[in-house]
Amino acid sequence: MVSYKGIVEGFYWISKHSVNGRHGEFNPNKRIKLLEFMGKKKLNTYVYDPKHFREGKNGIYERAYNPELIVDLEQWKETFSVAKDNGIEFIWGIAPGTHEPWTTYHPGWGKNEKGIFNVIEKLLELGVSGISLLLDDSPGGDSKIEVEKQAYLACKIADNYPGILKMICPTEYYGSKNTLEQKHRILNENTPPSIGLIFTGTKSYCRSITSEDVPDYKNGRGSIVWDNWMAADDNDPNKIEFNLPQGRSQSLFNNIDGYLLNPCFPVERIVHMVSGIGEIIEKRIETTIKKTAQLPNGDDISWYERTDKVDELLQTMGKDWAEFLGVDTSVMQKLLIKKVVDKNLEIGKDEYDEVIRKWPSLSPFFT
């Protein structure tokens, strides 16, 4: 049963990959519009983790410790309010790095966890729904001593702010089911089981994620998929996905506590897929079916084929995308059909001119 359904703003958007002069994170006003759209699609979770803002020295990610680096307080207050009004938990990612900063004194932060607690308290004051503790990409964060410290910190947060810590992303976040169960043993045994553990599948980017890949922690703790399938950390439009994800069947959604799509940037390039994920989860749509065959040498091969549900789903995705952009529905529907079903389909310049005039970042898809 999927409790958390939504997206994670979780990419590295550095300045050299600017789109229309913007980098770092989503435009705040577009993010608000995206939250409103997600509410309409019955998605209920937004995890905020723009990795560009984790920057620090020696594994010290200052934004996790200094509430002054939250900035734009009124904007965030509005964002959290809009999320709540649309039935969405806005979950702020705190990435503290390795344990030294939260176990030693630091001028301006105070002793032990005080700096992190100051950030949490400021976010709660602004109206955030929850916190995620994100330990991925922490150099050396998978050592036994580090994981023990991570479990300690998670418990301190849970004790001081009951119900606020929603999920943890371990430093080791991908691998086989058995591998993840073993790597997450300390966190699983030493933190409240109500806190979900995040994983990305057997690899960081997975062609398919199945129910057989989901760790079983034996204590009722849920697993949360952080799906990097369409993630992109650069501005190459050729890396934007139009095809729906393969190998993510309803049996997977029946065995996880959360599903978070990690998309790309900017906002206007992801609306179609947010729509698709919302439809798939809410209406329990199977978009692919696994096929197998045996080669003459006796080896088995497998692949995924689209189901007959995809064409109708593409129409809905195109309609939602067009409404978000404020452009003609038929153009965005034709674009999805061209990219997914019929590469020879022609879209006339007179049809897409309005789209690229309003949204220049979509120009490469048509030209």
Q: What is the pLDDT of residues 127-183, one digit of tens each?
A: 999 999 999 988 889 999 999 999 999 999 999 999 999 999 999 999 999 999 999
Domain with CATH 3.20.20.80 in the chain: 4-284
Q: Please state the rounded mean pLDDT for residues 10-34.
A: 89
pTM, 2 dp: 0.94
pLDDT classification of 297: cutoffs 50, 70, 90: confident
Q: Does the pLDDT of residue 62 top 80, yes or no?
A: no
Name the average pLDDT for the chain: 92
Of the candidate CATH numbers 3.60.21.10, 3.90.1150.10, 3.20.20.80, 3.40.50.150, the domain formed by 4-284 belongs to 3.20.20.80
Per-residue pLDDT, 109 = 53
Per-residue pLDDT, 63 = 82
Per-residue pLDDT, 13 = 80
Per-residue pLDDT, 148 = 96
Per-residue pLDDT, 107 = 60
Q: Render pLDDT for 214-252 as a digit per residue (tens, 0 to 9).
A: 999 999 999 999 999 998 888 888 778 898 888 899 999
Q: Does the pLDDT of residue 121 top 60, yes or no?
A: yes
| Three-state helix/strand/coil letters over the chain | CCCEEEEEECCCCCHHHCECCECCCCCHHHHHHHHHHHHHCCCCEEEECCHHHHCCECCECHHHCCHHHCCCHHHHHHHHHHHHHCCCEEEEEECCCCCHHHHCCECCCECCCHHHHHHHHHHHHHCCCEEEEECCCCCCCCCHHHHHHHHHHHHHHHHHCCCCEEEEECCCCCCCHHHHHHHCHHHHHHCCCCCEEEECCCCCCCCCCCHHHCCCCCCCCCEEEEECCCCCCCCCHHHCCCCCCCCCCHHHHCCCCEEEECCCCCHHHCHHHHHHHHHHHHHCCCCEEEEEEECCCCCEEEEEEECCCHHHHHHHHHHHHHHHHCCCHHHHHHHHHHHHCCCCCCCCHHHHHHHHHHCHHHHHHHC
